[in-house]
Structure 1
Amino acid sequence: MVAEVAVSVLLVKLQNLLDDERVMLPGLRSRVLTAVNELKQILSLLEAANANQGNAIVSHLEARLLHTIYSTDYVTENFLLLRVERRPKGVNKIIQMPLMAFSTQRQLRFSYQMKKFIKSIRAICSNFSEIHSFRGHQYDQAPEVLVGREDVEKELLALLFDNNEQSLRVISLVSEKPLGKTALARTIYNRLDIRRHFHYHAWLHVPKEFAYKDLLLIIIKQIPMPPELKDVEIMSEGSVFDLLFQILMEVRFIIVLDDVCTLDDWHELFYPLADSQNGSRIILTTCHSYVAALADPWSRSLKLKPLNDNESWGLFLKKVRGSKVSSDNTVSNNLKAEVLRICCGLPPAITLLAGMLSTIDLSEWSRVIDLVHSENQSTLLDIVALSHHKLPSVLQPCFLYFTLFPKGYEIPTRRLLQLWLAEGFIQMSSQVCDAPEDVAKIYLKELVCRNMIEIARWKPDGTPKTCRMPCFLYDAFLPKAEATGFLHIHHVHCKPDCKSSSKFRIQRLIDQYSVVKSTSESHIQHLRSYVSFEAQKGDTSNQNIGIFLKTIVNSRGFTMLKVLDLEGIYKPSLDEKIGLLQNLRYIGLRWTALGSCPKSIGDLPCLETLDLKYTNIITLPSSIWKAKNLRHLYMNEVSIEKPSKECSTNLQSLTGLHIGSKDPQIYGLDRCTNLRKLGLTYHSGSDMKTANCISQLTNLQTLRLRSRDRFGQPLDLKLSPMKDHQSLSNLHLFGVIKDGIRVRDLPWNLQILTLSVTKLKEDPMPELGRLPKLKTLRLFSCSYAGSKMKSPRGHFPELRVFKLWKLEKLEKWTVEEDSMPQLLELEIRSCKELKTLDGLQLLHALKELILTNMPEDFASELKKQIDVNKILTNKWQSSNQAKLVLMDAGVGDKMQSGVKS
């Protein structure tokens, strides 16, 4: 079943090889082209054989095929590796060969290996049957819906808001089959009235194997805390336990514990959840009735049942994305009956089948539905298998890649798409003009269209921020991914000498809640990717990572590593010789607290993504400019030791670069015309030069400019005309704009605008309201220094989100009729002098008004103008309160003695 994934990965590599000018021998090119055609044929045969047969013969053939594919993939990677030569003994400098044609001997050897591969693949192909063709389809985004659970939802809300029961209560959602427990809990959890009623909220998916402290930290990190609590990771497990207990004792909270499997798991997680007799609640989802019954004998368990026919059909119609199906009359009664029969009222089955059918014409539905084995009791498994087989071959490795992440994990799309690129999953051709990043977004969109992947959170501009694989699909595909050698997960209880149970050598090694300690040959010889999800700090994780990487770097021939993703690992030890890993494409060091970066990082010729965001790195070696394939460089206020005019023209993202008073052209930024995302911090002395440079970067989509001195105080910011920046949709400005802001200087297609310490003297609303596509406006601290603000009639036609933070002199805001007609969310934070808000009732589309640290009399006045159910009020803990909590937890002395993350 998963053989298509391995075939697709190798196919992309060989297709890219055909475009490589270093391949000069005609005979080699001819054999590579033949191999590509054979792989395309085997993909078609695999899809049909699996969909129509699914028997032991197919499984045997796939096993043979996998061995052949993996062997050839390894040979291809070795052929593509850039040669690294060393000087004689005693000289440490590394000589990197330029991108010249491969040697004739090397090409002849690879050509012979291609000949053997073609012979093997043809022998396997002859055993497969012919199949029908397949075609893909795009979709229109549809909002998440919850159908058929209205009664259960109403009952659950009543238990959550029961004012007669002030003790901590556990409400369990129970069903042995996948009936949408998690979806129901998530819908409730995200409601505005829930967020308004409960002070603190946390969601925890409970893995079958876990480190206890990690799960406590996951809960704590979801609680809004002052800066004093940023280093809780250095605390002991007992201190974290005590801290969480004391925090929850002071507030009314709601916590969702998703997928609790055993009573032992429940007991461990329940101990620190304090009962302060204030109406706190826990929602527990489980497949086991006995867990629900014993978790809280004094509370009710809600048992979910399959949907009835009307509910099932209603959900199906809403999940057939982009289809012409909109009513019962569109589909014949027989076809409708078949859909209802094979789905058995299971929401996952309905959703998945609807996603698969939405990619084909209505006339072909019957043929696809017939492929679901009606005699099988596990029709959900049949639909899962068929949905995977119907995926285009290029999407199969992308889909399977989701199993690298922990179950229920919200994956940042930024991280996911760039990992796909580094792995070589994105298929490009000479006919496609889009950037690889754009093609990757299309792949993700297709998976979402098929209801195989969920979007968890959205960015203000309407693009996906995080996504995840549904739990029932994760359970189905993780064992297959491990059994077929696609990945190996090193679990928390693995021993140091733990080896993969798969017959295949480890290509992708994943650490979940544990850091691998083994440096055995089986772990590193064929390793392509290493990804870690270790959450703890202050332990030995950094040492183990250092040993592991040192072994890889120093082991002769172990240079195939493409992905090194250590996001969240505390100060991992990076070997200074990391530049020897010549195949490395992705280095993820976000949230690692690292203070420096090895100088040899610029010796990585294939490096595409370097993520240093949210680290303690303040300078980067100038060698980074030597990485000519670098496309994404993420930093936070980082200076480059020595500017270079050799900046990679392939750069798509460059954020967090601190240039001070230097001319940005020294860095070659004026020649980086492919830049889409740019973040610069500079002094006012270079504002004109910076403005001139930015005027030449017309492909920018996101721009963040900060003008400040070395102490962080804002300086003058020169805003140059940006009318020619047609692609620029997101603009963030930090610095004093003396001349005011004029719509003629802003991009006409601007969708998101953020102003901070701009100290505007004139009311900016009449100007900004003329931007026709503006969807999100954020006026942050000291962005406006006036006392009155007015939103004129007819302005802000597309505005959806408006945030006012810390406008210290603002006293009155007036909203005129027909202004902001589509505003959904309004947040006012720490505007202490704001006494009057006229016209609030004219914002008819408003769904949510968030008041944070605002006077109570102001909030009371607003409650007279609009529905009180739309208002959410927040008050943060003071710093003194937070310090007391820390002292009680036993970490106050550590903080005062200078312990840092």
Structure 2
Amino acid sequence: MVEAVILSLMQKLNKYQEERIYKPRKHEIGEMERVIKEVREIVDIVRDKKFEEGRRVRFLVSDLVHMAHDALYKRRQTHVNEYIYNWIGEIKMRMLKLGADGAETESNSENVDEDHVVVGLDKHIELLLRTMIFDEITYRPWVVIKGMSGIGKTTLAREIYNHADVIDRFKYRAWVCVSNVLTLKEIFIKLLLQVVVDGENLHTSSSLEEMDNQTLLYMLHQHLQGLPYLIVLDDLPKQIPLEPLWEALQKQEYDGSKLVVTSHMTHQFMKTQWHDVHKMEALDPNMSWQLFYKTINSGNKLRSEQKFPKDLEYQGKLMLRKCGGLPLAIKEVANQLAQKKASTGTEWEHLLDSVDFGSTLELLEPYYQKLDPKLLPCFMYLALFKENTTLRKNKLSQIWDVAGGLYDSHSYFDGLVDESVIDEVNDMSTRYRMNPVLHRLSIKKAEEGIGFEILGSTRLNRNPRHRVIICSRDNNFSYSTNQDEYLVSLFFHGGGYFNASPSYWESFENLEVLDFQDFGLKVLPETIDILMELRYLGLRNNYIKELPKAVGFLEKLEVLDIAQNFMVQVPDIIWKLDSLLHLYMSDVISEKPFTMDVLQRLKTLTSVSFDDLIYDDHDELLGLTSLEKLGVQDLDGKTHVSKLFGLLSNLKSLKHLILTGYRFRSMPCLDELGTLQNLRTLKLDGRLDRLPNSFPYWLTSLTLANSCLNEDPMPLLGELPQIAECLHRSTNGYS
């Protein structure tokens, strides 16, 4: 029966294709060929597996017929064709995972919060109620609750769903846990089963299962006409397309109906203006403690004489730091301790020191398995960075490139943010943060997947490729007895005593990444030139007074970061490093003016003093034809910037410019900024007597810091199309 239905579908598709040959539209024929190819492969799967007439198989076939029907009748809409093709491909993959009897080989179970302890959601509930009930002006039928796994999305949605005001406002309410369904048809059936009239369900599961998808959607549309509805789709995965459901639910007039989605993903529909996104955040230390205390003492876990003592709040908060404000982790730790049933404060205190946080990582394993496979290497390389640190976008992309060979960094950032692995710290999307629990999961996966080790803290790898060494002021530097010749990257965390002998570096013959950021390093070894394969040298935020000349002999060095080392002396030889792509500096001292004519591959140069960059009749900036980002500092009212802007106007690759003045002096007149038409982002940091008369026309981002302006910049900024669009989105609340 199943095979017959698919073969009948194939005949219709082939007939359509034959008819189109005489009325050719190449793109339509190509798109239909993609669909037909996928359907043929599904036929082969059905024949190979000899499926019984199982429920899952019938539902998948129903979805397949639905998508093929849409492909025939919605072929002129490109985005529609894409989701149709993607879902047909997903149907094929899900059939491959089915057993011979048509049952799932992998089962999912909905997480049920047995304790139902809720803390820290009052503000979120108030905001969402205001959006869903009281905002009747803006047409935004979608409400998206987004955040990483275990952060409380479902708990918040359940509190909203059962709120008295919501029950009173919406005549039809339905809840579907989408992560537990395999097909669109299951979603439609679950929604119809929750249609209640006079206290009775109108439909039975068996009757609905016999209907096709289009009939189910038509029935749902008919039932909801004239009714304000609230539908919650909980834990929506990436693959499920909501377009068919949304088309059925759309109404002639907006009556306040809402479709609430919880997901760790950014879905395609979330990139429209028809939605409000509510991003979940981790709990602060006080809320974390309250959730822990209520959970461990809730229900019948402990007898009254065993209750967790409140006077251990300080020790408890220290322990909870490792939970990163993640409710899932906090509750897991509380339940773990409750099972041990201590009787005295001393026993509880001892248990706090022996908590096993490994179980929290196991709870996040399903979340990890759902991540886009292409993001998994990026996720593992996040283990190289410190826990709870702010991640700089440029450094991340450079480490991914050098250490992991991951070149398309822009898509990786978008993917990691979309899937709630990292969160943006600023509006410029240049700083990110990762939850500590996820960071520990990245360490675990990196140990398993990329040869990662933390010296002295985790199990040592037989052939390590990436290593973190943690130093403290109390302990001497720890030498490795492991094989160092395989190492590609070496990161130093902590700070304090670093007494490695010159011979220490001789074993790192293949090292490509060496990072000392925030380490407190005072002297960089003269023997650094031993590392002939080094491509990345990170020395940001240390106490280095002088850069050794040996750095100039690192012939493969692509990234040199010596920013935030106060008054560091740099040797002239670094201007001969023609391999350099990115050079980050601040407050550097050089015996001679900068001579950068050799640095023709340089893409980033920050932050260089104006006097070191522009002097006499030198115009070496013209040689930096690949330069994309430039930071110039020490500008004041006496600075002659005309020559700078004249040179920069010839650099066609320059897209990002930072101009920094002195703290108590006004910056010079910047009217010539408008000549830099290739600029996309601009930051002006310093006192401005007035705004420039013009800005680069295609500017997408402008930052004014410490400007002390008395005039409103918005009228001028409104003339820039990209900036005006951002301002428009911001005022409309969907940016």
TM-score, L = length of structure 1 = 0.41
> Quick check: which has more Rg, 1 or 2?
2
The TM-score normalised by the length of structure 2 is 0.50
